[in-house]
Amino acid sequence: RKEVEQDPGPFNVPEGATVAFNCTYSNSASQSFFWYRQDCRKEPKLLMSVYSSGNEDGRFTAQLNRASQYISLLIRDSKLSDSATYLCVVIKTGANNLFFGTGTRLTVIP
């Protein structure tokens, strides 16, 4: 079983829409959770860390459900510039390396 699983999409949404991505992880001892954004032919860039209590950064909201081993990312009022691949990333307790999901591709359509 993969460490991190995501729906690869693609998600094609109109500007202004709200879109949600989900991710599950297999190791209950995982300690840190992130969403990264990767634009085409670019390196991944940290979008936001995911805290146990959930957190919001502008139009972006991240949630963590440890009981279900589930992470989500909600994007409100989608912009054309939000088009990218969104990577769910997990660090296991005692490890330093990141485990990446395969990514969810989002295209925001005018």
Partner 1 sequence: SAVISQKPSRDICQRGTSLTIQCQVDSQVTMMFWYRQQPGQSLTLIATANQGSEATYESGFVIDKFPISRPNLTFSTLTVSNMSPEDSSIYLCSVEGGEYYEQYFGPGTRLTVT
Q: In terms of residues, how long is the chain?
A: 110
Find the shortest distance in angstroms from Cβ 102 to partner 1: 5
**Closer Cβ to partner 1, 43 or 68, answer by number:** 43
24: how many CB neighbours lie within 10 A of its CB?
A: 19
Question: Quick one: tokens of 28?
Answer: 């209950």
From the list 103, 102, 109, the residue with the least C-alpha distance to 81 is 109
For position 102 contacting partner 1 by CB under 8 A, the verdict is yes
**Closer Cβ to partner 1, 20 or 46, answer by number:** 46
Find the shortest distance in angstroms from Cβ 31 to partner 1: 8
Q: Which of residues 22-41 bind partner 1 (CB under 8 A)?
A: 32, 34, 41
Contacting residue, 20, 39, 46, 77, with partner 1 by CB under 8 A: 46
**Closer Cβ to partner 1, 76 or 107, answer by number:** 107
Name every residue whose Cβ is closer than 8 Å to that of residue 35 and which is 6 or more positions away in sequence.
47, 48, 50, 60, 62, 71, 73, 86, 87, 88, 89
In contact, 34 and 50? CB cutoff 8 Å: yes
Residues of this chain that interact with partner 1 (CB under 8 A) are 32, 34, 41-46, 49, 87, 91, 96-98, 100-103
